[in-house]
Chains A and B, each alone.
Chain A
Amino acid sequence: MTTPATAVDATRVSTYCYQCVAGPDLLTVRVEDGVALAVEPNFCATPIHPGAGRVCVKAYGLVQKTYNPHRILAPMKRTNRKKGRDQEPGFVPISWDEAFDTIAAKLNAIRATGVLDASGYPKVAASFGGGGTPQSYMGTFPAFLAAWGPVDMGFGSGQGVKCYHSEHLYGELWHRAFTVSPDTPSCRYVISLGSNTEASGGVVGVKRHADARVRGMRRVQIEPHLSVTGACSAEWVPIRPKTDAAFLYALIHVLLHEQPRERLDLAFLAQRTASPYLVGTNGYYLRDAATRKPLIWDRQRNAAVTYDTADAEPALEGSFAVTALEIGPDDVTLAEGELRGETSFSKLAAHMADYTPEWAAAICDVPASTIRRVAEEFLAQAAIGETVEIDAERLPFRPVAITLGKTVNNGWGGYECCWARTVAVALVGALEVPGGTLGTTVRLNRPMSDRIGSVKPGVDGFMDYPFNPTDSKHWSPRPNIRNAYRTLVPIAANGPWSQALGPTHLAWMFLDGTPEGLPEVTFPEIWFLYRTNPAISFWDTAALADKMARFPFIVAFAYTRDESNHMADILLPECTDLEGLQLIRIGGTKYVEQFWDQEGFALRQPVVEARGETRDFTDIATELARRTGLLEPYNAAINRGAAGISLKTERYDFSLATAIPHSRDEIWDAVCRAASAEVTDGTASDGLDWYKTQGFRTRPFGRINWYLYPALARQGLRFELPYQERLFRIGQQLGRRLHEHGMTWWDNQLAEYQALPAWKDFPGLWEKALVKMGGKPEDFPFWLVTARSMQYAWGGNAGIQLVQEVAANIAGHGGVIINAGAAARLGIADGDLLEIRTPQRATRGRAVLRHGIRPDTLLMVGQFEHWATPFARDLGVPSMNALVPLSLDLTDATGSGADLVRVGVMRVGRSP
């Protein structure tokens, strides 16, 4: 007898889904007789959740995920000493005791001889899936890692190179924008360069954009293929891949050179940006000799004054003779006395003069008239002069935004796109004000949970930013981890997220050859893997799998067998989404479109009993701490806040005794009590039982906190735009440091540090890489790109039948999308089996003929080509990851690459 989902007697258990960064979604699961039956929205969350309590399609895979017969349900050990794709691991079940004994023995041996190896790298490494989402499932494991000490978390599985990398780093520098979003609830016009919001914006993004469309918000989608977001946009503008910077430059050109100056937000530029700062002939700010503060030209006094002169009337444009210092890299005074300085804004205008729409049209394959029209619409919609009241504060209202998608905002050209985007919105004053372009979270600045609180005064009137040092005293050629982010990427900072935001592919590449100047890159003695499958999700997957096979000891927290844990020595089965327990922060401003009117906490709780011998991650972490003698620092880390909230503050104390192990429920009960106290300002201290029945607890989060502008205005700070004097200086210093140590292999990357970035032939870089691989561009005429699959992204759910079934309704999930006209010319019919190849690698997939893609572009949705993951390995879906090379040439200064590769196509089979 079928039980309809309507049965009122079934138990609904509340929990959350945080499988992707666009979460968390709050949901309920219907449970009958201890069996999870169906996922439903949590309508109790409707009043507090911007997505009305609805839950993303991925969460509906969780029931099958729990009962998947392919799950690893007992600890396993490898019996085949040989590792490799062609080697059957011979996993056999073992007891948890044996598993812990084996791992603890390795760890204790390491502790006995030192946690760093001869090169200075941590002997223990750990890799987690993208965007920090595994942290919402790994319980107190972060406390174990904190207790352990140095851990190399720089072996990427996609993060750092396949993310919004330039946006993450430069975004945080310029406006605390690890991710960037329109202020969708009130925005009127969005220029989206490949930003695939309808696939990646999560429940909140989808809901808000749907509301906005119906309200009349116009979005112009500029991308090589007509994505789901393009489908939901007012206009699709096909653009040649990797030429987005040219489009944006032309847009800025129109604003600066084809429109009356007074149409721009001149007040914003003068007061809230560095536009009036005077730049000397060497490219550095002219500074006041006494205070070393940058100078501006005061039109009232007709004299130069420091930027922070209260009553100054800054000149936005012009060249002025002033008495000043010009200080270059390494604090060297390049010039002093009577110097000529040009405003940053004038330098910008001159820089953009040649980037006309006609110039861009030839590069982007977009008509100049379209670029011009979009620029004019953008300007017209910016509503310069309008204001709006938010939380009793009157703020500028500028309802226009520019968003960038993956491959646009990472890899070569990412810096230029992010810079141009931010400058363009600043020109109309639409940066960090209602309606405009917003950052929505910080990961490199502190505190991570308070974006507005991270706005602190830094040098030259800008926000502080934790650059890694490049001065000769503090810069080090001996990196703390193998991807060398502190040595090579100053803007990656040095916080908990920095390791994964460094050039994570370098760790992989350098395993087979350390470049000059760095300590020899070694294999870690133990590598922990959780919710990540780099053998599928990184690039050059065949090479990566080969490297993994040489890792001496891998411990994989395993859901099912997969391509990465195929190389593991120990598999540990942990409770999955519906079995484990954890409390996380929700609301406030988080990734993508997740900026809420509430903030607080939500509980993930066991909806059903743990299956097999799976264990909760917290219990695993506690046991590892116990067996490695780290119980004290482990519990101390939890007390400090490693589980998401400090257990002891001035207002409350729920801290755990540090000498003894605590059960999962004891730990999370304390965390829940602290959370209750925080949310209620100390009036409540409800524990785990309360959250189990209520699911979540929040308090209002003022909308004023969505916008950085008020915090900057309050502190008299400016956005560090448009001129990048600091980056230019840092680049110069970094170059000197590297060269001092004989490191010239990073010189191409050093060229990115330009104060006003010039257009470079970005597509040409990929063509050169093709030639270097031994191919001729004419033999590999297609650009292969990828697109987010909402159904799959980050879910690790390629083995979930339901997800596969519903995703198949969206074009492209079964193969490779090719333009119907291009296919006809090649004699390719829908469903034909194609081989897509580079000079080095090949992959196969079925042709999916569509009209919504450029004739020179192919599209592979998502990341597939599994060969070990049960169910997924039978899908026969291709992946671009097999084709994209790991290449220093294609690595930008932030240490990122892009999902792009030139390929050829050949039909190898007819449609069945």
Chain B
Amino acid sequence: MERVAPWLQTSWDHRAAGNFIGGGTGSGLAVVAATSTLWTGEVPRVPLAAAALAIALGLALVWLEIGRPWRFLHVFFHPQTSWMTREALVAPPLIFTLGAAAWTGGHALATIAGVLAIAFLYCQARMLHAARGIPAWREPAIVPLIVATGLAEGAGAFLILALLTPVGDRVALFLAPAAILIRSYVWTFYRGRLERHGGPAGALNALAVIDAPLLLFGTIAPLSLLVGALVLTTVATPLALVAGAAALGAGWTMKGVIVTRAAFNQGFALPHLPRLAAAGKETGARPGWS
């Protein structure tokens, strides 16, 4: 088939999305857990372990996607410019410190893990941003968006895990609404910039389709539930659980859509059409763009 207008890239599929989901949620969770440690003085071991697991799972999915999995060590060869190398470099110490903190309950380890997790999350965000062939990814607002949703997912996950395990949930109750609000704002900002600057129509459509559901289920619902949990203490736990799940699910949906369904490539465009012996119009062509 002739392809001129942007089409959906197929190099990175749901497995790559899985890395951004697992890695984002895991690193977000690690950051919230570390914050919780600093705030409460208690090391939330289960969330820390879960964070390590999520990040590792995400990376495992990537490993499944690459064409030459047994050359995976080559991923470390280009720290000078490659955000993938940098992500890969941060991942082992991050997973190790997360595991160690969960195992030992050491405050320092948890704190270091939190710092590494921020770095990891940032790497993931910059990784998408550096993919210049995908207009929905290279948009600079993708960086705060990926970070914000990672934190919102982490807070959501922490809420769930904190409620299911004997660790304090106060941090998450405060952090989650903030992260959800910031994410919502950045999402709107991100979409607004894409709309303003133009992008592949297919990408914009894919993002537009999830806009209202994200607002409803990813922002309004969890925020309302969290307010409810603060007010209605008798049902606080189930409300907070659902709120956490909503925050988490919204982030996963958003990233799944960004990495797979909105990942229209650049397509082709001509600023000028060839001038053929005084043919009428030579202004350019850019099929498939908004």
Touching chains A and B, CB distance < 8 Å: yes
What is the interface of chain A, defined by CB distance below 8 A to chain B? 213, 216-219, 232-235, 808-811, 814
* B-chain residues with CB within 8 Å of residue A810 when the two chains form the complex: 2
Query: Are B276 and A808 closer than 8 Å at their CB atoms?
Result: no
CB distance from A155 to the nearest CB of B (A): 37
Contact call A814/B279, Cβ cutoff below 8 A: no
Tell me the bound Cα distance from A542 to B267 in angstroms.
Answer: 42
Q: Check B276–A233 contact: CB distance below 8 A.
A: yes
Assess whether B1 is in contact with A216, with CB atoms less than 8 Å apart: no
B271: CB under 8 A from chain A? Answer: no
Chain B positions within 8 Å of A217 at CB level: 277
Q: B166 to chain A: which residues have CB within 8 Å? A: none
Q: How far apart are the CA atoms of A218 and B280 in the complex, in Å?
A: 12
B:105-126 near A, CB below 8 Å:
none
- Inter-chain CA distance A234–B278, complex, in Å, is 6
- Asked if A213 and B2 sit within 8 Å, CB to CB, the answer is no
Q: Give chain B residues whose Cβ lies under 8 Å from the Cβ of A811.
A: 2
For B277, the chain A residues whose CB sits under 8 A away are 213, 216-219, 234
B residues contacting A by CB (< 8 A) are 1-2, 276-280
Check if A234 sits within 8 Å of B2, measured CB to CB: no
Q: Are B2 and A218 in contact (CB under 8 A)?
A: no
Nearest CB of chain B from residue A226's CB, rounded to whole Å: 12
The 3 closest A-B pairs by CB, nearest first: A218-B277, A234-B277, A234-B279
Expressed in whole angstroms, the Cα–Cα distance for A640 and B152 within the complex equals 91
Decide if A235 touches B2 in the complex (CB within 8 Å). Answer: no
User: In the complex, what's the smallest C-beta–C-beta distance from A37 to chain B, in angstroms?
Assistant: 26
Cα distance, A234 to B276, chains bound together (Å): 5
Q: When the two chains form their complex, are residues A213 and B276 in contact, meaning their CB atoms are under 8 A apart?
A: yes
Minimum CB–CB distance for A859 against chain B, Å: 15
Q: How far is the CA of A861 from the CA of B241 in the complex (A)?
A: 61
A233 partner residues in chain B, CB cutoff 8 A: 276, 279
Interface centre among B1, B2, B277, B278 (most CB of A within 10 A): B277
| CB neighbours of A814 from chain B (8 A) | 1
Residue on A nearest B276 in the bound complex, by CB: A234
Contact across chains for A218 and B278 when beta carbons are under 8 A apart: yes
**Chain B residues whose CB sits within 8 angstroms of the CB of A218 once the complex forms:** 276-278
Chain A min CB distance to B267 (Å): 15
The CA-CA distance from A309 to B61 in the complex, in Å, is 95
B2 contact set on A, CB distance < 8 A: 808-811
Cβ A235 vs Cβ B1 within 8 A: no
Which residues of B lie under 8 Å from residue A235 when comparing CB positions? 279-280
Q: A219-B276, A811-B2 are in contact. List 14 more A-B contacts (CB 8 A).
A: A213-B276, A213-B277, A216-B277, A217-B277, A218-B276, A218-B277, A218-B278, A233-B279, A234-B276, A234-B278, A235-B279, A235-B280, A808-B1, A808-B2
**Residues of chain A with a CB closer than 8 A to B279's CB:** 233-235
Q: Which residues of B contact A808 (CB under 8 A)?
A: 1-2
Contact residues of A: prevailing secondary structure: loop
Q: Report Cα–Cα, A235/B279, bound state, in Å.
A: 6
Q: How far is the CA of A213 from the CA of B275 in the complex (A)?
A: 9
* Bound-complex Cα distance A823 to B94 (A): 56
A211 to chain B, nearest CB (A): 13
User: Which B residues touch A234, using CB under 8 A?
Assistant: 276-279
**How far is B276's CA from A217's CA once the two chains are assembled, in angstroms?**
8
Of all chain B residues, the one with the shortest Cβ separation from A812 is B2
Distance, CA A213 to CA B277, complexed state (A)? 7
Bound-state Cα–Cα, A218 to B277, Å: 5
Task: Give the distance to chain A from B279, nearest Cβ to Cβ, in Å.
Answer: 4
Q: Tell me how far the C-beta of A847 lies from the nearest C-beta in chain B, rounded to whole angstroms.
A: 13
Chain B residue at minimal CB-CB distance from A848? B2
The docked-state distance in angstroms from the alpha carbon of A175 to that of B10 is: 58
Interchain nearest-CB distance for A893 vs B (Å): 37
Of all chain B residues, the one with the shortest Cβ separation from A219 is: B277
CA distance A814 to B277 in the complex (A): 32
- Which residue of chain B lies nearest to A232 when distances are taken between CB atoms in the complex? B276
Query: What are 17 inter-chain pairs, A to B, with CB distance below 8 A?
Result: A213-B277, A216-B277, A219-B276, A219-B277, A232-B276, A233-B279, A234-B276, A234-B277, A234-B278, A234-B279, A235-B279, A235-B280, A808-B1, A808-B2, A809-B2, A811-B2, A814-B1
Query: In the complex, A814→B1 CA distance in Å?
Result: 7
Question: How distant is the Cα of A219 from the Cα of B254 in the complex, in angstroms?
Answer: 52
CB distance from B11 to the nearest CB of A (A): 20
**In the bound complex, what is the Cα–Cα distance between A688 and B286 (angstroms)?**
55
Could you tell me the distance between the alpha carbons of A908 and B1 in the complex, rounded to whole angstroms? Answer: 21
- Closest CB of chain B to A743's CB: distance in Å? 51
| Whole-angstrom CA separation of A216 from B2 in the bound complex | 30
Q: B residues within 8 A CB of A809?
A: 2
Q: In this complex, which of B2, B276, B278, B279 has the most chain A Cβ atoms within 10 angstroms of its Cβ?
A: B276
Nearest chain A CB to B58's CB is how many angstroms away? Answer: 32
User: Chain A residues near B1 (CB, 8 Å)?
Assistant: 808, 814
Chain B residue with Cβ nearest A212: B277
CA distance A638 to B278 in the complex (A): 54
Complex CA gap A808/B277 in Å reads: 29
Interface centre among A233, A234, A810 (most CB of B within 10 A): A234
CA distance A810 to B1 in the complex (A): 8
What are the residues of chain A within 8 A of B280 when measuring CB–CB?
235
Interchain CA distance A302-B278 in the complex, whole Å: 49
Complex CA distance for A217 and B278, rounded to whole angstroms: 10
CA distance A490 to B1 in the complex (A): 47
Instruction: Give complex CA distance A192, B4 in Å.
Output: 28
Return the chain B residue nearest A218 by Cβ: B277
- Within the complex, the shortest CB–CB distance from A848 to chain B, in Å, comes to 9
Task: Give complex CA distance A233, B2 in Å.
Answer: 22
Q: How far is the CB of B25 from chain A (nearest CB, A)?
A: 35
Q: Give Cα A234–Cα B279 distance, bound, in whole angstroms.
A: 4
- A831 to chain B: closest residue by CB: B1
> CA A809 – CA B1 in complex, angstroms?
6
Name the distance in Å between B202's Cβ and chain A's nearest Cβ. Answer: 13
A385 to B193, CA, bound (A): 63
State in angstroms the CA–CA spacing of A216 and B275 once bound together: 10
Residues of B within 8 A of A219 (CB): 276-277
Report the bound CA distance from A809 to B278 in whole Å.
Answer: 27
Q: Which residue of A lies closest to B273 (CB)?
A: A231
The CA-CA distance from A808 to B2 in the complex, in Å, is 6
Shortest C-beta distance, B204 to chain A (Å), equals 19
A71 to B274, CA, bound (A): 43
Q: Report the separation of the CA atoms of residues A811 and B2 in the bound assembly, to the nearest whole angstrom.
A: 7
User: A490 to B278, alpha carbons, bound, how many Å?
Assistant: 45
Measured CB to CB, the closest approach of chain A to B176, in angstroms, equals 43
Shortest B249–chain A CB gap in Å is 31
> In the complex the two chains form, what is the Cα distance from A217 to B2 in whole Å?
30
Q: How far is the CA of A233 from the CA of B277 in the complex (A)?
A: 8
CB proximity of B31 to chain A, nearest CB, Å: 44
Bound: A138/B278 CA distance, A: 47
Whole-angstrom distance between the alpha carbons of A809 and B276 in the complex? Answer: 22
A299 CB, min distance to chain B CBs, angstroms: 41
**A810, closest chain B residue (CB):** B2
- Nearest-neighbour CB distance to chain B for A858, whole angstroms, equals 18
**Which residues of B are found within 8 Å of A216, using beta-carbon distances?**
277
Instruction: Closest A residue to B280 by CB, please name it.
Output: A235
Pick from A213, A217, A810 the residue with the most CB of B within 10 Å.
A213
CA distance A213 to B1 in the complex (A): 29
Shortest CB distance A817–B (Å): 12
How far, in angstroms, from A299 to B37 measured CA to CA in the complex?
116
Q: How far is the CB of B48 from chain A (nearest CB, A)?
A: 47
Closest Cβ of chain B: how far from A288's Cβ, in Å? 49
Distance (whole angstroms) from the CB of A473 to the closest CB of chain B: 55
CB distance from B51 to the nearest CB of A (A): 42
- When distances are taken between beta carbons in the complex, the residues of chain A under 8 Å from B276 are 213, 218-219, 232-234
Chain A minimum-CB-distance residue to B275: A234
B254 nearest CB across to chain A (Å) = 28
Q: How far is the CB of A225 from chain B (nearest CB, A)?
A: 16
CB distance from A751 to the nearest CB of B (A): 40
Q: How far is the CB of A197 from chain B (nearest CB, A)?
A: 14
Task: Provide the bound-state CA to CA distance between A808 and B3, in Å.
Answer: 10
A67→B279 CA distance, assembly (Å): 45
Shortest distance from the beta carbon of B193 to any chain A beta carbon, whole Å: 30
Within the complex, what minimum Cβ distance (angstroms) separates A45 from chain B?
29
Q: Which of chain B's residues has its CB closest to A189's CB?
A: B277
